[in-house]
Chains A and B, each alone.
Chain A
């Protein structure tokens, strides 16, 4: 049926449908008298009560009321608009009434259910609420929902695993993608890593095919040594400026933006002798040493977990470091001799700690026997296979080992089988790293023995958390997307919209939204790509007619509204007045309440409507 356009100046003809909701309302509110009262209100031409307005016969009575009484406004007084408004709005539309001419009055959750022992007062309140609804309905105007075209192209910021995966997914779907990477090569954080846990394959070998695919893909425009320099626009219609070192800025039109800028490792300055004693390194520095085969000769290695995380400096658990430390512990045990070399750190050769290359035969013999016994193996110690690892003792000082999931638990068990020692510490007794003469030492409190112990070590590896990029704030301001307290990007909804931003058309994945391992980054990236593809595949977005409206005759162009809008949905037009970008506006009304000239109001929530509705509550009846 063609929609009947209620002209703004058409005299209101309001129909009120009061619902019994079985006995949910009817049991505590005198519904017939409320419906009767509604007839006395201005511009109400029809009023009735239904046993269940949301049932088919109830909906039919709305449609019939609209037709028979030529209603141009409908009020349903029943439950909550948060669940039932779409149903009644669709009913109005099916009878040719613009859905914005519908008003919902809540007399169940906000009345009958909370005043179950005061039927008179509850009935009076229901009448008041309907009077308020009528006052609002009289001022309603039909609204058109704006349709905004979406440019089917995307820009992905960050060329790590997340960015590459997202770019590749969208490129495979046929959308042109600009992939912007700050460094001169792809790969991101993973380029530091030696091998990857669970698969134990080399990190660079693992991502090589991904990098090759990205480089070869015809839909991917790769911008290395580049950064996002500017963004303007809104969902479907972004214009981004990509700045490349030594080249002119490139402007590109895209419909969506995916943020995958990754994270950095926390630098534990001043903690556990970092930068103070030689051979105290972070987990990532350790990986680099392993990868470059530049480890010094070691006999005792200690990992300290949760350095700077879980309430020490940062509040959160970085979630990946337990597994990374376990992986590295196993690596050293299994593969130590392959990673030996001269250790270099930031260009200077770190003093090597002299260590004995060979334990005495006697000690070795004792160990062989002990291990044989512990494994329940009979016979001589010679039967136990000894790798080069026998020289290495690995201790992981931890607060808890969070080896979650099936694979990680198995890896943890494997580490224990390989005689990696896990020693628990608490925040009351943090381990201490110090030098005794030329020897690096760790002092710790043994929680089981309840004893202070010391241990000589040759290297201390500090597991520090991932932290947000230091310049994430600039990107956050440029895109008007929020950063959380810890400097990671904040998604729209922690459970239900984990890769969306609250701003439409911008998506987030990977470690820039919090610590994650490579599997998780790839998962998030695929999700973000698929979310970004929705408006691009559809070709348009429809904006709910609940947006700001600027009255140019009142606007002074002061720009306060632009400052307060969390979505960047306001800008100055060529005349210098504020202008609403309808597709970007979410209708919160902040600009309306802020505008110093009172030049901004909201469709469907005008000042006049709000005042009429609330003033009606104060009327004496």
Chain B
């Protein structure tokens, strides 16, 4: 919340300077929302110039990594456009989009980014006017939220980096990849799982993976103690320690020689990368 406040005051500052314009990227599916945006143009419905659209075949193509990477790079808002549920050109693509967007929003929330900076909208090929309304409203919304904190604050950027790292972990990708089928078709025993319970489970896993990724980001090139990590992350030290145990098992973090009685930890970097 504090960050949102900060962002708003920052936005006011920038507005005075008159320089800041929200940078918004839109991923539109070829068959519905891109066609809807085309119709919007043909019908001459006007909207703010901030959005830059990228055409993809299906909204299901957009992995959490693509969205989080863009937030990491300083995007102020991202719009995903797909076909209405039931109308997907690829039968079931947008069911998976919905699940992934839920994960993306959860990760943004964990990383302290207002999840409403990401918006998923269903726009059909005949909804030209809707497209202009969606873009206008979303641009106004992002303008009110102000510029993304990522570009100016290292701490904010570290969190979004961790969210991005978490989004590509096997655990989260496998969970969210299987979520829809577990809910509708069931597991190997044909038992379907309860939606709310499954979401709760995924949320816990998401928080865990985010915190672990954040530890790795913070301890990259800098040895840190559990206490230090806990205070930066605002996470209880026992929880940090549990994460560190898991990370050590996976050989992702190493214990440095303790100084005095306090051990410190440093992220193991794979040779050659960055």
Contacts and interface: CB of A to CB of B under 8 A. Distances in A.
Given A563-B181, A615-B70, A618-B23, A114 B56 contact: no
A572 interface: no
Contacts of A250: none
A560 B174 contact: yes
Interface in A110-124: 110-111, 113-118, 121-122, 124
A125 B54 CA distance: 13
Question: Which has the most chain B C-beta neighbours within 10 Å: A109, A122, A602?
Answer: A109
Contacts of A615: 69-70, 73
Contact of B52 (A108, A122, A586, A617): A617
B40 A114 contact: yes
B60 A590 contact: yes
A588 B59 CA distance: 8
Contacts of A613: 54
Given A589-B58, A597-B170, A598-B168, A114 B96 contact: no
A593 B60 contact: yes
A114 B61 contact: no
A607 B35 contact: no
Contacts of A121: 49
A590 B93 contact: yes
B75 interface: yes
Contact of B177 (A129, A546, A564, A602): A564
A143 interface: no
Contacts of A482: 91-92
Contacts of A596: 170-171, 173-174, 177
A122 B38 CA distance: 16
A118 B21 CA distance: 14
A610 interface: yes
Contacts of B173: 594-598
B44 interface: yes
A106 interface: yes
Question: Which has the most chain B C-beta neighbours within 10 Å: A81, A122, A128, A615?
Answer: A615
A15 interface: no
Interface string A239-259: 000000000000000000000
Given A566-B92, A590-B61, A594-B96, A114 B132 contact: yes
Contacts of A122: 49
B63 interface: yes
A614 interface: yes
A476 B23 CA distance: 44
B36 to A, nearest CB: 10
Contact of B66 (A109, A111, A586, A611): A611
A109 B41 contact: yes
Contacts of B270: none
Contact of B61 (A111, A597, A598, A602): A602
Contact of A588 (B47, B57, B132): B57
A82 interface: yes
A546 B93 CA distance: 16
Contacts of B34: 80, 82
B52 A114 contact: no
A381 interface: no
A81 B64 CA distance: 26
A587 interface: yes
B177 A618 contact: no
Question: Which has the most chain B C-beta neighbours within 10 Å: A128, A613, A618?
Answer: A618
Contact of A605 (B42, B46, B56, B64): B56
Given A81-B55, A113-B44, A560 B177 contact: yes
Interface residues of B, number: 53
B116 interface: no
Nearest to B49: A121
A124 B178 contact: no
Interface in A273-311: none
Contact of A590 (B23, B47, B58): B58
Interface string A112-156: 011111100110110011001000000000000000000000000
Contacts of A423: none
Interface in A597-621: 597-598, 602, 605, 607, 610-611, 613-615, 617-618
A475 interface: no
Interface in B119-149: 132
A269 B74 CA distance: 62
Interface residues of A, number: 53
Contacts of A82: 30, 34-35, 38
A354 to B, nearest CB: 53
B44 A589 contact: no
B66 A610 contact: yes
Interface in A538-595: 546, 556, 558, 560-561, 563-564, 566, 586-590, 592-595
Nearest to A83: B38
Question: Which has the most chain B C-beta neighbours within 10 Å: A125, A502, A588, A596?
Answer: A588
A563 B49 CA distance: 40
Given A595-B173, A605-B57, A607-B66, A590 B96 contact: yes
Contacts of A113: 41-42, 44
Contacts of B69: 611, 615
Given A590-B93, A595-B173, A607 B41 contact: no
A110 B53 contact: yes
A611 B72 CA distance: 12
B62 interface: yes
Given A82-B35, A618-B25, A110 B41 contact: yes
A546 B38 contact: no
Given A109-B41, A592-B61, A596-B177, A132 B52 contact: yes
Contact of B178 (A109, A560, A614): A560
B159 interface: no
A128 B25 CA distance: 11
Given A564-B96, A614-B66, A615-B70, A589 B37 contact: no
Given A114-B44, A115-B46, A116-B46, A618 B37 contact: no
B100 interface: yes
A594 B92 CA distance: 13
Given A109-B37, A109-B42, A114-B40, A124 B61 contact: no
B70 A618 contact: yes
B174 A118 contact: no
Given A589-B58, A594-B177, A605-B57, A614 B27 contact: yes
B49 A129 contact: no
A441 B66 CA distance: 68
A564 B173 CA distance: 13
A586 B60 CA distance: 13
B63 A607 contact: yes
B45 A589 contact: no
Contacts of B89: 502, 588
Contact of A566 (B23, B37, B47, B90): B90
Given A114-B45, A128-B52, A617-B52, 14 more contacts: A80-B41, A109-B41, A115-B46, A116-B44, A129-B52, A588-B57, A588-B93, A589-B60, A593-B62, A594-B176, A605-B56, A605-B57, A617-B23, A618-B25
21 contacts: A82-B35, A110-B53, A113-B41, A114-B41, A114-B47, A129-B52, A132-B54, A482-B92, A558-B174, A564-B92, A564-B177, A566-B92, A587-B57, A590-B60, A590-B93, A596-B173, A605-B57, A614-B66, A617-B54, A618-B23, A618-B70
Which 9 A-B pairs have CB atoms at the shortest separation, nearest pair first? A109-B41, A589-B61, A588-B90, A617-B52, A593-B63, A113-B41, A594-B177, A596-B174, A596-B173
